[in-house]
Structure 1
Amino acid sequence: MTPSPLDAELAAVFSVLAGARERTTELGQVIALLTAAGHDPAELPVATGDRLLLALHRELTGRDIEPVLACGCGEFSTVRLGPDTVPPARPRTAVLGRAGGLRQPTYGDLLDLPPDAAGRAELLRRCTVGIPERAPAPHDFELIDDSLAGPLTFDCPACGREVEHPVDVQTLVLRGLLTLLDELDHDVHVLASAYGWDLATIEALPRSRRRRLAAIAVGGG
């Protein structure tokens, strides 16, 4: 049985993600995931990476992220977050005088930062370009931040009030993919136990059939 190209890609990316699951940091997991998908995180702006993560989530799961958002009136709503529902990434540089400024951070810039204030100072140093007329300050990152982490604004369908809800796409994507990985591990265990199939045979099954067969095996019929 030969897996389809998408199923083969799913298995390859999930193999990397399975190893990355044991990493201690979310950043390490994201870098491993983007690398497996064919990107170079060291040079990739975090803002661009957030959009790529949304596209990867859709490709691997077949659906978009839909966080549940709460309004003060008691109403709960969902907002779909996908690569075509968020603004495209825009290259940004904060010009701090004629000779330099501050660029968007890449994943490489975030590696091995010291904690607390020393880490913020080091990140500023890494993202400084040229020779600014004044030293960049932490609040200057607000001028270049195009990531998908922060408040999501939506209109409550019940009361019409504009509501802000904190969202971090990186965390949501990882949570969704790791949940799907847990489901895949469960299906492999069930099918191997029920039918004695090897791992390659089970992973070669289309995802929908693998799920159905696992449900049948668990249900006993």
Structure 2
Amino acid sequence: MASPTDMLAAWEIGLALPASSLQRTVLLHALARPGQEAAELLGVPVGTRDAELLDLRIALFGEVLSVRIDCPECGAELEFDVDATGLAAPAPRTEPEPLTEGDWTVRFRLVTSADLLAVRDGAAGDRRRELAARLVLDARRGGRAVRGDRLPERIVHLLAEAVATADPAADISFALECPDCAARMRTPLDAATYLWDELDSWARTTLADVHALASSYGWTEPDVLALSPLRRRYYLELAGHG
């Protein structure tokens, strides 16, 4: 698991990145796989990445997620806790079953962070087709090879559905019912956003602890970070900061 030093370093870098950005997501994923090269991280399927981010969040901050959303039907503000342990789907297969439709057969791979980075600046329609082209390993119509960027719109649409089916963990969500209007909804969970918000809160609290203990005892940041949470809290109380 990531050390407090690694967590603070990631937080410091992440502050300079746009909120909810893909770069910040990849940065957080590096905490889940310490020591792994960036190229390897970028090549991990999105569902696997998000499941690992959720596992990291559980390891660092516990199993309970505090969720706050507005009901899309009546606008009521809903606050509730969710058990994060059962949200992520099982890891996807390395290579999914080919898409077959009529005389078409398309072998494809799953979406990775590298793919999303590559298409992020295009228009919505262009991104969809460009992403499809990147995912195609081999496309044939009636036995004749077809380039991934020459697929008809119908096959591009079916390919998008096949990719989503093959990697269900890429769309983590949970069902709930509004207590005010009884509307049923399915709410997506952005594992990176939840993890970042809690990392941000933890980092600011930790730096405040470092400041208080450094002022009281002359300790360095590594000295404070080396303390267990229980011992740190005890020293803060002794120094009058509890």
The question of 1:84 aligning with 2:79 is answered no
Partner SS for 1:208: helix
The question of 1:50 aligning with 2:53 is answered no
Correspondence list, 1:189-200, <5 A: 189-200=211-222
- 1:24 CA displacement: 3.6
Paired residues of 1:148 and 1:169 also in contact (CA < 8 A):
no
The equivalent of 1:95 in structure 2 is 99
**CA separation of 1:81/1:62 partners in 2, compared to 1, >3 Å: closer, same or farther?**
closer
Picking from 2, 10, 21, the partner of 2:15 is 21
**CA separation of 1:48/1:138 partners in 2, compared to 1, >3 Å: closer, same or farther?**
same
Paired residues of 2:175 and 2:184 also in contact (CA < 8 A):
yes
The question of 1:9 aligning with 2:3 is answered yes
Which deviates further from its counterpart, 148-157 or 194-203?
148-157
* d(CA) in 1 for partners of 2:209, 2:13: 18
- Matched to 2:4, the amino acid is L
- Matched to 2:48, the amino acid is T
* d(CA) in 1 for partners of 2:45, 2:191: 14
The equivalent of 1:35 in structure 2 is 30
**CA separation of 1:216/1:82 partners in 2, compared to 1, >3 Å: closer, same or farther?**
farther
**CA separation of 1:194/1:80 partners in 2, compared to 1, >3 Å: closer, same or farther?**
same
Partner SS for 1:152: strand
- Matched to 1:143, the amino acid is A
* d(CA) in 1 for partners of 2:205, 2:98: 44
Partner SS for 1:105: coil
Picking from 119, 123, 129, the partner of 2:131 is 123
- 1:215 CA displacement: 5.9
Picking from 218, 224, 229, the partner of 1:207 is 229
- 1:54 CA displacement: 0.8
* d(CA) in 1 for partners of 2:241, 2:114: 50
Q: How many residues align?
A: 214
Paired residues of 1:93 and 1:144 also in contact (CA < 8 A):
no
**CA separation of 1:10/1:83 partners in 2, compared to 1, >3 Å: closer, same or farther?**
farther
**CA separation of 1:130/1:154 partners in 2, compared to 1, >3 Å: closer, same or farther?**
same
Paired residues of 1:61 and 1:180 also in contact (CA < 8 A):
no
- 1:173 CA displacement: 1.8
- 1:12 CA displacement: 2.6
- 1:149 CA displacement: 4.3
- Matched to 1:54, the amino acid is L
TM-score, scaled relative to structure 2: 0.71
- 1:190 CA displacement: 2.0
- 1:154 CA displacement: 1.6
Paired residues of 1:102 and 1:129 also in contact (CA < 8 A):
yes
Q: Structure 2: state its 5+ residue gaps.
A: 142-150
The equivalent of 1:165 in structure 2 is 187
- 1:157 CA displacement: 6.0
Paired residues of 1:191 and 1:213 also in contact (CA < 8 A):
yes
Paired residues of 2:76 and 2:180 also in contact (CA < 8 A):
no
**CA separation of 1:112/1:50 partners in 2, compared to 1, >3 Å: closer, same or farther?**
same
- 1:211 CA displacement: 4.0
Q: Bigger radius of gyration, 1 or 2? A: 2
- RMSD between aligned alpha carbons? 3.2
The equivalent of 1:186 in structure 2 is 208
Q: Structure 1: state its 5+ residue gaps.
A: 1-5
Which deviates further from its counterpart, 83-92 or 172-181?
83-92
- 1:200 CA displacement: 1.3
